[in-house]
Structure 1
Amino acid sequence: MSSQKPVSHYRLPTDLRPRHYDLTIRTDLEKERFTGFVKIDLDVVNATKVITFNAAAELNIGTATLAVTTSGAEIAHIGTKIELDTQRASLIFPQELPVGSKVTLRIEFEAALTDSMTGYYKSTWGKGTYALTQFEPTDARRALPCWDEPLLKATFSVTLVSRKGTVSLSNMPARSGVVVADALTEHLFEGVKDGSWFATSFETTPPMSTYLLAFANGEFAHLESSYTSPLSGKVRPLRIYATPDVISQAQYALGITEKALPLYEQAFNIEYPLPKLDTLVANDFDAGAMENWGLITGRTTAYLVDPENADFAAKKRIAGTQSHEVAHMWFGNITTMAWWDNLYLNEGFATLAMQHRIHPDWKVDADFINNHLTAALRLDAKLSSHPIEVEVPDAGQIGQIFDSLSYSKAASGTMIIVLRMLSKYVGEDKFLKGVSLYLKKHLYSNTVSRDLWEGIGEATGLDIPQLMDNWVSKMGFPVLTVTETLSGIKVRQDRFLEDGPAKPEDNKTIWSIPLGLVTASDYGQAVVDNTALLETREAEFRLDTTRSFKLNADTNGVYRVLYTSTRLAAIASEAAKGDSIFSLSDRIGLVHDAFALGKAGHLPLSDALNLVHELRAEKEFLVWDSIDASLAGIILTWWEDDKVTELLKSFRRALCSPLVETLGLEYSQDDSADVTQLRTLAVGGAASTGDPGTVKALLERFTKFTAGDPHAIPVDLLGVTFVTAVEHTGAPAYDAVLKLFENPPTPSIKVAAIRGLTSAVDPALHERTFNLIQSSVRNQDIISFFRGLASNPKAINALREFFEKNYHTINSRLETTFSMKYIIQSVYIGFAKEEDRVKAEEFFKDKDIGKYNQALAQALDGISAKAAFIKRSSLDIVTWLEQWEKIL
């Protein structure tokens, strides 16, 4: 760490502060280039002869001039300095700019529209090319010279000059009237007078960070709606844009926007501040979506669904994505983190979102445990994890903190304390009041975590900063060991690590932990004590242990709970009752805790299997989701051991097949969300373990579907059917699925096709898939192929070989995106031998891993943890499963 460069090496000098950008961009889609001119009004904070700003290497800087606003004098610079490693440019002037003066920097620039999915880039569709921006976290500098740091907010006036027949979009509504060029920008308006080009000038934005600036140009169609503000009664237009061939699939996402906006206004007691909110759906997009103020952007799979035949997974994905992005209009856009080390201030609340109010029947709060809490705790259980609040002076490493700890943990790990758990602890009304106070106090400004804690503290009267400190600033989370005493229980906290008990040097943090004690009343009803707090290494709590009890009510907390095997068996027995005192969320948490504790060696893995066996009559989809995901993970861990794998598959098949018999393979609009999802899960589990009846039924449906019957496969079963067909029939099914991938009528079919293509058993088909990745798979979809292959035991070794052989090509394609770190994780996630870790370390020893070193360290830690898990638990799991088979 001593060799780390100082923050000043990466951060811009503070001598000047931007106040306003007047930006003109001319987009030539035919030539795939753009040219621009920007006038940046600056306040001189400290006297300086040097103006330093961000500009990426691919942005060609032209003439630059400086005008002193007060005098009108122009000053020519006498030198230029370009720093490629920090993406900065400096203009050197002959005389100092005095403190308090106001100047305007004017710069010409131009660049190519590439397929990088960063900066201002091109995307393609069936009839051509269009262009859009993706600036988060530090890519505005690829599209214009700017002060590209979140703290340096300014207003923006944007003018787009584009070819006739296209549509131009930006953060704000278009101004009415004719756009007139001035002497400095008239060269960008060529063709406007004769009508072959047109210019659109947009209203000025509120003060905002550069990463939220957005613009786009292309042949777009749109759907339109509106919402009425519950605070002011104003009616605001809502639009969703896409290419004309798919716009009909965007209606559902538009409806989510319409529902979400008034909910957030009411929750924060702050009106949405812009005159409109648009969403643009893109064919090529690195992330899932992006919260540009007034112009949300995102990929097709995050926003499009067949309006006549929508699968439930797609609807959940769309609702979750858009409610997240709409939340950002307040949390992140109005109030923005001061620097990227406080990213979770943006992402945490946005992930928490209001989806539970949009679709209460989806049981979003409980689903949150499966989709966010588990992923976050899995990552944070590694020694190579990082705190939520992590120093990131180097802009090149900012992308690494966009992971489960910032997205998921921010909302379900330490930010479950910060947000979800904190909300339960202080009460949702007081919590939201505190959030509103925080937002109102820091409108259009930048914040750090303490600002949020002080707002919630003001609303609750509690010392929230003290309570939150270690959850945000320290790595990891605790495991609570429960020991029963004569008068109750003794609870001890230690750091939880996935590969075993923490060493003393890794076990120094003491967290303030709300325990959420669930006990049974005299009448057998659940009683929850949300006031119990563990603030020391260990403490005793009085309760009647002759009655059922557990910690972490509703799994609100960011910790694991370790009971004795006897107590866990008693809790399992109570949880299996139809009238159990343990809630849906309690039962989900029990499953995840048991498997995580088993993996870490805190309890026998057979205790987790006993718990699952007890819960085999469970009715709730979300509990089954936790069970099935846990078992699938165990099967994939032992993929190199045929005996263990077959025993585990038999166990999983015995759980899923009865559900298939009960629920069948037919879907109805009258089905509840629970029934729909449970049927899909059960069929997937039964098919993946080779249940003969399920496999036969799916293959028959696949044959009819490929023969021309579009209704032969229920849309919710497309994925598992394609997987089953390719796995069991090989090349003929692969060919049929490949055609669907190459020309998918809906995003759902494309997602299902990728699953199918990556499930092949035959090595020859793996080679075809690798060739496909190299030749025709869009950059945004490479990670989906890698993840599919990584979950296929027959392809794990081949995937590593392919990746390492083609590393430089893959890295070159994805070097500007977030995807490379996920590629690394996918390639090595399946391995479970120390020799595989050694091989990986050897491969990367001469590579520049600066942009994904954390992801690599986490993947390597995962290999070691799995190796220890297998060594520790193989005998236990075989013994239990063989005994289970005898009593089956």
Structure 2
Amino acid sequence: MALKNRDILPDVAKPVHYHVSLFDLQLGGSWDYKGIVRINSKITRSTTEIVLNSKEIEVQNVEIYGSDGKKLAKVSEITYDTKSERVTLKFPEEISPADAVLSINFTGTINNAMAGFYRSKYKAVADPTEDTPKEGEFHYMLSTQFESCDARRAFPCFDEPNLKATFDFEIEVPIGQTALSNMPIKSERNGSSSELKFVSFETTPLMSTYLLAWAVGDFEYVEAMTQRKYQGKSIPVRVYTTKGLKEQALFALECAHRTVDYFSEVFEIEYPLPKADLLAVHEFAMGAMENWGLVTYRTTAVLFDEGKSDTRYKNRIAYVVAHELAHQWFGNLVTMDWWNELWLNEGFATWVGWLAVDNFYPEWNIWSQFVAEGVQQAFQLDSLRASHPIEVPVRNALEVDQIFDHISYLKGSSVIRMLSDHLGRETFLCGVAAYLKAHAYGNATTNDLWSALSKASNQDVTSFMDPWIRKIGFPVVTVTEEPGQISIRQNRFLSTGDTKSEEDETTWWIPLGLRSGPEMTDVKPRALVSKADILGDIEQGSFYKLNGDLSGFYRTNYPADRLEKLGKSLGLLSTEDKIGLIGDAAALAVSGDGTTSALLALLEGFKEEQNYLTWSQISSSIANLRSVFAQNGPVAAGLKKFSLQLASPAANDIGWEFSSEDDYLTVQLRKLLIGMAGLAGHENIISDARQRFQFWDSGTDRNAVHTNLRSVVFGIAISEGGHKEYNAVKQEYIKTDSVDGKEICLGALGRTKDANLVKDYLDFVFSDKVAIQDIHNGAVSVASNSQTRHLLWDYIKKNWNSVEARLSTNNVVFERFVRMGLSKFADHNIAADIASFFQDKDTSAYDRALVIVADSIRTNAHYKQRDEVQVLEWLQTHGYA
């Protein structure tokens, strides 16, 4: 992107080094602090003003010095532009080009918005030190979240990713508190009183402002040393928690130190810092943040309580730890040049994060999980007109929060997986290593990566990857069988099924991944590089399948009889193939390129399926059907019966009881099948779940609800019960000490069908008893319940002022709430009502989310209107209605 298309700071001053000093922290009450930042800068041309980024900061005094320490000028005027988040410093006389030091005194606030320098409240599980900040029953820890544009919320700075500098940081804290930053502690000295100390840290490498980080709290840690030696010695890897939680960090620690070594080998560059710290933060908007040397995490993404936590969280922790540590190279060492290339950071870290987890836990079948969760979610968003290219134009950095989405992360990682499979993983990683070495401590572009991969592979990567990165959407490959040949054609896929000619101009490079014959062996590699082609090397009537293992990022539309044959030959298909087959059939039914009847017929063939990840795709496809057709009574009842009869044999077979020999996937399968059958009306499962819940609730047997079945049992009990069950789980949310317990309870509570309880639940979700980071989880649980989602919309309308006030402190949470809370409807009238309601609101924080909501509802409504009659006919014909 040309610089002229970016709204960036004037280039009269370029930062080289920052010295940030924070002191006089008011730990309670106003939560203010004071600071001095000295910025060694290169003045590039004569000027009387310098512009920096600043938000919610009061600049009090500014002086500029020469490199010899001589004062050149004192600020004569300070003006703020709150909209662009900038402060202009005007000087009485012209400053000539030279090396200079800008010294700024300022005050800021330790906010509670999970952005900038902020405070997190928590209930201590062990006695904190006396000087730990406290208000009422809550204690506080302090930490930072600067990506993408919130370093400016902590201190005035040149807050753009390609304005890299080195940093010295120091902070004054109570003597009993632990201070952390990107680098190891350099020294400590007495503070302004006997109760305070200054902690100074070593100088960072050259890096972007958004990667600077610090934290203060009543911390303890677990530690391991890397097995590899770095410059002759092992590196300490630590996971920090507030006091009393460090034992729950042991699994993350095990993942972390191994991952640091693994990536050092994979990227052919040693981990570049002298330590690697991970920190559990009690209030956190994202999953985690890759600050160099001090990675911060939401508690559920780094803590695991053996015996109390759902094993699903182990899988999550292993992946999130790996994702963030991948960023230490890909993102931190080499940073995208500008925010339009955010995908370079996130898409790659997502793919290589899964790569690391697969290396350590091959039994988890990670790439099948990636196809079931990552690829399918990317397809869903990218099939909307409201999608955007992977590399999306960003004029103003303040727009970027809304593209931290499934396109940047999941479509980005999906096309990287496609490219890696095509080039060969070893060749691909060799190119990545060359890219990192060439641009270390600097900034790079997508074209820089393609150049390195082209050189490593001797292929023109740029030419065949450019459309995937810079064009919107993805293709569907339609197969036509004719005597003696098979024809294939590519078109852009839209979930509404009404692609216009001007929307279908892209010709993608599509690796066909063809497999055929009785053993489903790979045919020689071949790609579709035009709009249409003929495959003449497949014998008429022989068995074949395109897109082996769903390696390519595209849908495949087979003739109906071919889809039926594939459905009857499941033993020849890989798990990824099965997931792709179901996902494609479901998506094509929605768009009208296929039929719901064909999807249901395909799904009937999976009663004998035993793989969790395949069932995961079956479950989500049926859930979407039941959601879309929920308001048509006969169809809804028929689909419920269909779901019941499909899942019941497998649910009955796997049963309730866990064995010490159960592997991870078996544990997850049991949970999914019991939940799927129970919520579809399986009487014995409902009865068992309610009985187990009763034993648990009454205290007769608190172990009656297995740790891994809490979400299922709580959900069924609340769905089938009333006030008693609802109140029991609500109380469990309030008092649980299980790190994942709050998320599990919040999801279950949203399953209530009682309108009064939904109102109580939403009041509860928007109260200060629920952390702002979890509000969207509450909204999603109600929105996913087809019988109550309209109550969520009614609540939002009636309580907008309080909803907005609660959410507006953090745009990431606000956008996620709107997008995930309102997109499940299948009613044109509700879409119109939503559009009308937001017409006079300031929607700048979530305007992209509203477009996605409108597109999603339109898609669902069209699908419902088009297919509900034929779906009912199929259900009646096959004995489900």
Aligned to 1:37: 36
Question: In the alignment, which residue of structure 2 is the partner of 1:377?
Answer: 379
Question: 1:610 — aligned with what?
Answer: 601
Q: Deviations over 1:462-516 (max 9, x none)?
A: 0011111111111000011111233432111100000114111211111111111
Do structure 1's residue 345 and structure 2's residue 344 form an aligned pair? yes
Q: 2:507 aligns with which of 506, 510, 528?
A: 510
User: Is the contact between residue 57 and residue 107 of structure 2 (CA under 8 Å) also seen in structure 1?
Assistant: yes
- 1:645 correspondence with 2:639: no
Q: Corresponding residue for 2:587?
A: 596
Is the 1:741–1:753 contact (alpha carbons within 8 Å) kept by the matching residues of 2?
A: yes
Work out whether 1:711 is the aligned partner of 2:703: yes
* SS across alignment from 1:65: strand
Deviations 1:692-722 (A, max 9, x none): 1001111111111122233211111101111
Residue 289 (structure 1) aligns with: 288
Q: Counterpart of 1:754?
A: 746
Q: Partner letter of residue 356 of structure 1? A: D
Which secondary structure state, in structure 2, belongs to the residue aligned with residue 114 of structure 1? coil
3-state SS of 1:133 partner? strand
- Structure 1 stretch displaced more, 18-27 or 76-85: 76-85
**Residue number in structure 2 paired with 1:364:** 366
The aligned counterpart of 2:794 is: 801
Q: What are the Cα deviations for residues 790-815 of structure 1, in whole angstroms up to 9, with x where unaligned? A: 11122211100111222233223322
Aligned alpha-carbon RMSD (Å): 1.6
- Which range moves more in the overlay, 642-651 or 455-464? 642-651
309 and 545 in structure 1: CA distance in 2 versus 1, 3 angstrom threshold:
farther
Q: Which of 615, 632, 640 pairs up with 2:623?
A: 632
Which residues of 2 match residues 266-665 of structure 1 at below 5 A? 266-352=265-351, 353=353, 354-412=356-414, 416=415, 419-520=416-517, 524-529=518-523, 531-542=525-536, 543-575=538-570, 577=571, 580=572, 582-665=573-656
1:144 to 144, 148, 155: 155
2: distance between equivalents of 1:838 and 1:278? 49
What is the CA deviation profile of residues 85-108 of structure 1, one whole-angstrom value per residue up to 9, with x for unaligned ones? 100011122333333x10111111
Q: What's the CA shift string for 1:799-841, capped at 9, x where partnerless?
A: 0011122223322332233011111123322211111111111
Tell me, which stretches of 5 or more residues in structure 1 are unaligned? 181-188
Q: Secondary structure at the match of 1:28?
A: coil
Matched, 1:773 2:765: yes
Where 1:711 maps in the other structure, the secondary structure is coil
Cα shift at 1:52: 0.6
Q: Distance in 2 between matches of 1:363 and 1:623?
A: 11
Higher mean alpha-carbon deviation, 349-358 vs 74-83, is at 74-83
Whole-angstrom CA distance in 2 between matches of 1:47 and 1:572: 72
Q: Which amino acid aligns with 1:293?
A: W
Q: Deviations over 1:311-345 (max 9, x none)?
A: 22111111121111111111101110011100010
State the 1:228 CA deviation. Answer: 2.2
Amino acid at match of 2:162: L
Q: Give the Cα–Cα distance (whole angstroms) in 1 for the partners of residues 57 and 684 of structure 2.
A: 59
Please state whether the residue corresponding to 1:175 is helix, strand or coil: strand
Deviations 1:663-715 (A, max 9, x none): 11112231122211111110010111111100111111111112223321111
Q: For 1:116-170, what per-residue CA distance to the aligned partner results, in whole angstroms no more than 9, with x for missing partners?
A: 1100011111251121100010000000000111011111111111012111010
Letter matched to residue 814 of structure 1: L
Distance change in 2, residues 1:230/1:498 (3 Å): farther
Match of 1:251 in 2: 250
CA contact (8 A) 1:166 1:217 kept: yes
Q: Distance in 2 between matches of 1:17 and 1:368?
A: 42
In 1, Cα distance between the equivalents of 2:228 and 2:437? 18
Cα offsets for 1:46-96 (capped at 9, x unmatched): 33222110000x212111111111462331222222111100011122333
- Contact map agreement 1:719 1:751 (CA 8 A) in 2: no
In structure 1, C-alpha distance between the alignment counterparts of 2:227 and 2:204, rounded to whole Å: 21
Q: Distance in 2 between matches of 1:236 and 1:866?
A: 52
Q: Does structure 2 retain, via aligned residues, the 8 Å contact 1:392–1:398?
A: yes
The structure-2 alpha-carbon separation of the partners of 1:801 and 1:245, relative to structure 1 and needing over 3 Å to count, comes to: farther
Measure, in 2, the Cα distance between the counterparts of 1:530 and 1:318: 38
With over 3 angstroms needed to count, the CA separation of the structure-2 counterparts of 1:381 and 1:732, relative to structure 1, is: same
1:45 is displaced (CA, Å) by 2.3
Task: Go from structure 1 to structure 2 and tell me whether the alpha carbon gap of 1:41 and 1:876 turns closer, same or farther (over 3 Å shift).
Answer: same
Is 2:225 the counterpart of 1:226? yes
71-80 or 718-727, larger mean C-alpha shift: 71-80
- SS of alignment partner, residue 544 of structure 1: coil
| Contact 1:722–1:755 under 8 Å retained in 2 | no
Once the two structures are TM-superposed, the CA of residue 517 in structure 1 deviates from its matched residue by 0.7
Q: Tell me the SS of whatever aligns to 2:569.
A: helix
Percent identical pairs in the alignment equals 34
Deviation at 1:231, TM superposition (A): 6.9
* Alpha-carbon distance in structure 1 between the residues aligned to 2:142 and 2:473: 41
1:103 aligns with 2:100: yes
- Partner of 1:111, secondary structure, is strand
Which amino acid letter does the alignment assign opposite residue 635 of structure 1? R
User: For 1:35 and 1:558, how far apart are their aligned partners in 2?
Assistant: 51
5+ residue gaps, structure 2, are 125-138
Tell me what 1:184 maps to.
Answer: none
Match of 1:873 in 2: 867
Partner of residue 130, structure 2: none
Greater displacement, 799-808 / 225-234 = 225-234
1:186 aligns to what?
A: none
Determine if contact 1:39/1:105 at 8 Å carries over to the other structure.
yes
Task: State the match for 1:813 in structure 2.
Answer: 806
Is structure 2 residue 835 aligned with structure 1 residue 841? yes
8 A contact 2:240–2:279 mirrored in 1: yes
Relative to the length of structure 2, the TM-score reads 0.95
Distance change in 2, residues 1:33/1:668 (3 Å): farther
Shift of residue 394 of structure 1? 2.1
CA distance in 2, matches of 1:233, 1:694: 59
Deviation at 1:233, TM superposition (A): 5.7
Query: Aligned match of 2:720 in 707, 710, 728?
Result: 728
SS in structure 2 of the partner of residue 301 of structure 1: helix
Deviation, 1:458, is 0.8
Partner of 2:184: 173
Question: How far, CA to CA, are the matches of 1:234 and 1:551 in structure 2?
Answer: 50
The Cα offsets for residues 216-262 of structure 1, whole Å up to 9 and x where unpaired, read as 11111211112122676631111111111333222111111122111
Q: How many residue pairs align between the two structures?
A: 856
The 8 Å contact of residues 23 and 36 in structure 1, kept in 2 or not, is answered as: yes
- Residue 225 and residue 461 in structure 1: after superposition, are their counterparts in 2 closer, same or farther (change >3 A)? same
Q: TM-score, normalised by structure 1?
A: 0.94
Shift of 1:7: 4.6
Cα deviation 1:437-466 (Å, max 9, x = unaligned): 000000011111001111111100000111
CA distance in 2, matches of 1:235, 1:792: 51
Secondary structure in structure 1 of the residue aligned to 2:463 = helix
Instruction: Give 3-state SS (helix, strand or coil) of 2:168's partner.
Output: strand
3-state SS in 1 of match to 2:610: coil
